[in-house]
Amino acid sequence: MKEHFGVLAVALLIATVGAQDASSNYLLTGHSTPLASSFAHQFFTLASQRAALANRTSNQAVQTYADRAYDDDLCDRDINLIRDSINNLEEWALEFPDTWGRLPMGLFWGHTISMGQYEECVAASSTHTTEIRGQYCLASLNITTFYQSVKKRGEEFNRISYKQTDPEIFELGICIPKTCSASKTDELLKYAINHFYGQDVRDSNFTMVTEARCKYDAPIELRGIDIFAIIFFSLIIFFMVASSVYDYIQTRKGAPKKPLLVAFSVLTNAPKIFTVKKVNNPNVIHCLNGLRCFSMMWVVFGHGYMTFYDLPHINKNKFYTWVQTPYSMLVQNGSLCVDTFFFMSGLLMCWGAFREMERTKGKLNIPMMYFHRYIRLTPVVAVVVLYIMSLYKYSGAGPMWFKLGTQDKRCADTWWATLIYVQNYAFPYSICISQSWYLAVDTQLYFLSPLFLIPLWKWGKKALVPIVIVLILCLGGTFATFMLNDFTLFRVQDDQVDLRQRLTYYPTHTRIPTWLIGVIFGYFLFTRNRGRQIPMSKPLVLTGWFVAFGTMLACMWGPYWRILPDTPDSPLIEGAFFEPLSRTSWALSIGWIVWACYNGHGGLVNDFLSWGFFTGFSRLCYCMYVIHRIVQLVNAARLQTDTHFSNYDAILRWWHDFGITLTASIFATLAFEAPILGIEKAIFGKPAPKKPTPGELAKAAPVAATSAPAEPEPEVKPVEETKTEIAPVPTNEENPSKA
């Protein structure tokens, strides 16, 4: 039965309906319209017939779903009235079939959705005394059997080497009265299909219409958490305005200001973000700002393609040839940027901790260090979690919202794990704020850091032996995981992507090697290199740059030939070696860039990465990392029209998402991050010319640890974290010093 249904369902979509005598006679009447023979128009006639039959043979029912109530009797009444009004050419009734999706366009290029007109449907209403309102549903038609019967081109598998599977579902937007339940609509839709293509479809168990994918325009009923969120955000804005007014008045008077009262002041916090002062301080590694900013942009870029793939492209199959292009490697191997952040996190953690222990003669206030880190990271994360669980559901609606606007459901049971940074182990398949896995890993490494930092401080190079052993064991663990689970070289070719992410991408133990490389590098940079530049001959400098760039290019494009159509698949051991070694090789190359720039061998590269613009930009990176994914998902889920897959269109969306993320991050930094730093400083003060390193590090550590604060005045810059899923993107507080 299912096979018949699949063929008939697609035939309904691909063929023009109305070739039957009944339809022909109908078209000859004076009531015919150009669209009268369309399935959308015929549905209401057939549904009325079905309703009449049902009334004679069974009892109608009243159904409820969530906050919706349905009545089968009212549904039948409304459908009959719509049918009669359509025959009478009344505009309000014609809007119902007018909003339906039409015959598929580009089905054989992967365009398997016809959304129709969502807004017109939910706004549709009768002009009669009887109120009839439109309800939009995204129905799913099974086309599996049909597609399997299609005789494909002989060159199909040469043209597309990536594992492309035949589509199983065609999604069709339909508009029905809001009194009709999903089960009733499903029954009527199947009846209409049966009328044209046979009665055997009626026995199919395949559900085409579900309540979760139906929506009508209803008054907003705020929940308790919604009211709390509105009050909370209103209070924050009030605090910002009041604090700014107080700051302005005190400045005009020349009177002293109370630190707590200016914590939310935009006049105080904005200059900390946008004012750039060039600090010639050996404790500041300026090039880290540029590395952080580029990595953040790479994260938004990579995640943008992840979201871009899910859009309703009219040429979606282009993706399968796109993955064979060199350009696609920027996305497929984009996760290397997360290793940049883990390296910087380890480096800044070690640098900052050593500065603190230098000040306190080898002592670390570990409880306070943990407290400072949590306080600095969590407010922005908590605010995003609050938004997702409350106001997020009101941020959009439509066909794509059914498919992509589900973040609030992911957070319903997992929000608590995000706030204590254990989500990468507790809920790897449903992480609230998907990219926050990096925050969890980096925080866990931060909590483990004293195990490495204290021995390094006390015993120096002797402590490197056990550290290197841990590093090698973790590399071996990743290698063994690949071999035991048959993971492939490329993530897109893996049949177990979710399992691969859980076992090799999210776990902290798989990320330790690059972080430890940063720690070791920070140790030597602090103890052997701080405050002086190590000379090196030009040939050696050129060799270093050549090897570093060559290694990075090899990590990025080395495996490219393996994904080409005529290239044999790589053996499992190749992927098992490449995954851990590419991460460490990339970290070592980043280490060369940092070392060369710090020692005056960076030339134009150092000038560019140390550009003052990146200093200000880097202070927004932490908020950008936490916020950008939600911005991308909201922008994508709000779509109600078809899109086109191309690199140019993807870049346009990148600028679109990046601009909104940047704007939202400025507000978040001024409203949450900077005030928390101000309150923390007002309460705890600054212990010495700088703040406790790991404490501050904590702030920068969200994506990397923060580095040691500059001696002068501690200025706080938000750090960032790495990206999630496909290409993690964290950010470090590049220069731990405040300037």
Identify whether residues 676 and 539 lie together within a single domain. Answer: yes
How far is the C-alpha of 118 from the C-alpha of 125, rounded, in Å?
14
Identify whether residues 121 and 208 lie together within a single domain. Answer: yes
Residue 358 lies in a domain: yes
Tell me what the mean pLDDT of segment 274-300 comes to. Answer: 89
- What pLDDT, on a 0 to 100 scale, did the predictor assign at position 532? 87
Check whether 714 has a pLDDT greater than 70: no
- Segment 288-300, tens digit of pLDDT: 999 999 999 999 9
What confidence category does residue 201 fall into, taking pLDDT thresholds of 50, 70 and 90? very low
Mean pLDDT across the chain, nearest whole number?
A: 83
Identify whether residues 436 and 513 lie together within a single domain. Answer: yes
Lowest mean pLDDT among 44-53, 242-251, 351-360, 406-415: 44-53
Residue 116 lies in a domain: yes
- What pLDDT, on a 0 to 100 scale, did the predictor assign at position 733? 37
DSSP codes joined into one string, 607-660: HHHT-HHHHHHHTTHHHHHHHHHHHHHHHHHT--S-B---HHHHHHHHHHHHHH
User: Which of 216, 240, 263 is the last residue before a domain boundary?
Assistant: 216
Q: By percentage, how much of the chain surpasses pLDDT 70?
A: 83
Instruction: Say how many domains are in the chain.
Output: 2
How far is the C-alpha of 299 from the C-alpha of 279, rounded, in Å?
28
Identify whether residues 505 and 581 lie together within a single domain. Answer: yes
Residue 239 lies in a domain: no
Identify whether residues 466 and 584 lie together within a single domain. Answer: yes
pTM of the model: 0.85
The helix/strand count (H/E) of the chain reads as: 32, 6
Domain span at residue 128 reads 34-57+68-151+160-216
DSSP-derived 3-state class of residue 397: coil
Identify whether residues 323 and 454 lie together within a single domain. Answer: yes
Check whether 358 has a pLDDT greater than 70: yes
- What pLDDT, on a 0 to 100 scale, did the predictor assign at position 58? 52
- Segment 526-539, tens digit of pLDDT: 999 888 889 999 99
What residues form DSSP beta bridges with 643? 313
Tell me what the mean pLDDT of segment 138-152 comes to. Answer: 82
Reading the block at residue 457, the tokens are 């401080």
Identify whether residues 487 and 569 lie together within a single domain. Answer: yes
What is the Cα 513 distance to its own chain's centre? 25
Residue 98 lies in a domain: yes
Check whether 52 has a pLDDT greater than 80: no
What residues form DSSP beta bridges with 138? 173
Q: What does DSSP assign to residue 211?
A: G
- Segment 477-493, tens digit of pLDDT: 999 999 999 898 877 77
Check whether 144 has a pLDDT greater than 90: no
Instruction: Tell me the pairing of strands 169-177 and 113-114.
Output: parallel
Query: Of residues 141 and 390, which shows the higher confidence score?
Result: 390
- Segment 419-457, tens digit of pLDDT: 999 999 999 999 999 999 999 999 999 999 999 999 999
As to burial, measured by CB atoms within 10 angstroms (0-12 exposed, 13-18 middle, 19+ buried), residue 231 is exposed
Reading the block at residue 27, the tokens are 């078209």
Identify whether residues 568 and 668 lie together within a single domain. Answer: yes
Check whether 39 has a pLDDT greater than 90: no
User: Which of 649, 666, 684 is the last residue before a domain boundary?
Assistant: 684
Identify whether residues 207 and 281 lie together within a single domain. Answer: no
User: Which among 622, 571, 19, 7 is positioned nearest to 293, based on CA atoms?
Assistant: 622
> CB under 8 Å to 256, separation ≥6 — which residues?
250
